[in-house]
């Protein structure tokens, strides 16, 4: 994750508000864009931030400079995405303006951008924990390698993926930020353990192979995930269903919580 920087995930096309503007302009921008706040600039420098809550009980003719927040937390484009995540979630703010050394606005990074950068993160610890689990369950001693694997030979173990996460993986691959897959190699078989979104994203981009942690299992046993894949009739990546955002389980959970509230 160290190579993932704010510049790789921030939005570059940012709507701003001039410091000498009025709150009426901000209200209009909120209505037309759907955004709940904007960086405030003066002479190309970021001087504040104005959010919808700042407009409460304020006359539309009031100057932005009089009601904007001047206590700004900003990000550097070369900041680690992990550091940006810490700032965003510890401070409770939703967006960080990204500025250069002269405090000129370069972009903005939001909590949504940070979450997108973390989805399907593969760490060496995750790989070794999986190997440890295989050893305990089957009494085997797998060998770990790092190599590229052909996408069209992968046997999936997940029956569905989600469109919003797929878009994020496509973006990461284009930026050279994709994490390795986790694959088990059996005699004549490549079983995809982790990275289904990445594999489908790569195929959509016309990429034929991806970097992977390859776990060699030569023992004559059938793994549980192989039985599961067979039960779901998963043979190739074509058997994976791509669902839209509205059917994502996290969205369903959120809807249930809202209804209960």
Taking each helix axis as running N to C, give the angle between helix 111-118 and helix 81-91, from 0 to 180 degrees, rounded to the nearest 10.
130
Span 149-169, mean pLDDT? Answer: 90
Report how far residue 193's alpha carbon sits from residue 134's, in angstroms, rounded to the nearest whole number.
12
Question: Scanning the structure block, which residue is given the tokens 């400079």?
Answer: 65
Specify the residue for token string 């996290």.
250
**Angle, to 10 degrees, between the axis of helix 163-175 and the axis of helix 196-204?**
70
Would you list the DSSP string of 24-48? HHHHHHHHHH--SEEEEEETTEEEE
Q: Where are the domains of the chain?
A: 6-117, 119-251
Alpha-carbon gap, residue 153 to 209, rounded angstroms: 10
Cβ neighbourhood burial of 257 (10 Å; 0-12, 13-18, 19+): exposed
Residue-level pLDDT at 120:
52
pLDDT in tens, 112-121: 778 767 655 5
Query: Shortest CA distance to 105 belongs to which of 26, 12, 33?
Result: 12
The pLDDT value given to residue 145: 92
C-alpha Rg value of the chain to the nearest Å: 23
With a cut of 90, say whether residue 67 has pLDDT above it: yes
Q: How many CB atoms lie within 10 A of CB 245?
A: 12
Supply the pTM of this predicted model: 0.56
Instruction: Give 149's strand partners.
Output: 210
CATH code of the domain made up of 119-251 = 3.90.1530.10
Domain 6-117, CATH homologous superfamily name and number: CBS-domain (3.10.580.10)
């Amino acid at each position: 994750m160290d190579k993932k920087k704010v510049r790789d995930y921030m939005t570059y096309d940012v709507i701003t508000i001039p410091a000498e503007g009025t709150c009426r302009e901000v209200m209009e921008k909120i209505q037309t864009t759907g955004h709940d706040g904007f960086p405030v600039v003066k002479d190309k420098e970021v001087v504040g931030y104005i959010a919808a809550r700042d407009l409460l009980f304020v006359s539309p003719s009031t100057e932005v400079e009089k009601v904007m927040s001047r206590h700004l937390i900003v990000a550097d484009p070369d900041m680690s995405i992990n550091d940006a995540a810490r700032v965003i979630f510890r401070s409770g703010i939703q967006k960080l303006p990204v500025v250069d050394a002269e405090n000129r606005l370069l972009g903005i990074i939001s909590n949504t951008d940070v979450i997108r950068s973390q989805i399907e993160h593969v760490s060496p610890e995750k790989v070794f924990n999986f190997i440890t689990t295989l050893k305990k369950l089957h009494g085997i001693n797998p060998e770990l390698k790092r190599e590229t694997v052909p996408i069209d030979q992968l046997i999936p173990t997940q029956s569905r993926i989600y469109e919003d996460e797929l878009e994020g993986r496509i973006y990461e691959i284009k930026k050279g930020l994709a994490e390795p897959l986790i694959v088990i190699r059996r005699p004549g078989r490549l079983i995809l353990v982790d990275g289904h979104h990445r594999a489908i994203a790569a195929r959509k981009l016309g990429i034929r192979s991806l970097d992977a942690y390859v776990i060699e299992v030569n023992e004559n046993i059938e793994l549980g995930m192989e039985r599961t894949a067979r039960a779901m009739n998963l043979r190739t990546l074509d058997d994976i269903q791509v669902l839209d955002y509205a059917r994502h389980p996290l969205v369903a959970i959120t809807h249930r919580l809202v209804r209960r509230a």
